[in-house]
Amino acid sequence: MADTLMPVEVAYAKPNEQRIISLEMPLDAKVHQVVEQSGILQYYPEIDLSKNKVGVFGKLTTLDAGLYPGDRVEIYRELIADPKEARRKRAAQGKSLKKGGG
């Protein structure tokens, strides 16, 4: 029966900590099943799978996606700042500094 299980991991990171949980799941397990079975939702009640995006090794995926042995399911936090907007602000600040010539 052990040959019908596969090793997978679930990962979640906050600015000051991260947790990676390893577990064995059936070969036909879906992303949402692995997340729920891992118990990570009890550690981090702020995770809302209807809002938080998920991925496998850095590539976005859906909750009903299948997995392969050794996959790491990652739960992503919502962004505090839009990276594009933050870059625009930094670029605008740089231009204003250059104009001053000081």
CATH number of residue 71's parent domain? 3.10.20.90
> What is the domain range of residue 68?
2-100
pLDDT of residue 85: 77
What's the CA dihedral at 72, 38, 75, 26 to 10 degrees? 50
Burial of 5 (0-12, 13-18, 19+ CB in 10 A): middle
* pTM, full prediction: 0.74
Provide φ and ψ at 69, rounded to 5°: -55, 135
Kindly compute the dihedral angle of the four CA atoms of residues 79, 9, 50, 32, in this order, to the nearest 10 degrees.
160
For 22-34, what is each residue's pLDDT tens digit? 999 999 999 999 9
Position 99: which residue type?
A: K
Strand partners, 4: none
Number of domains in the chain: 1
Q: With bands split at pLDDT 50, 70 and 90, how would you rate the model's confidence at 98? A: low
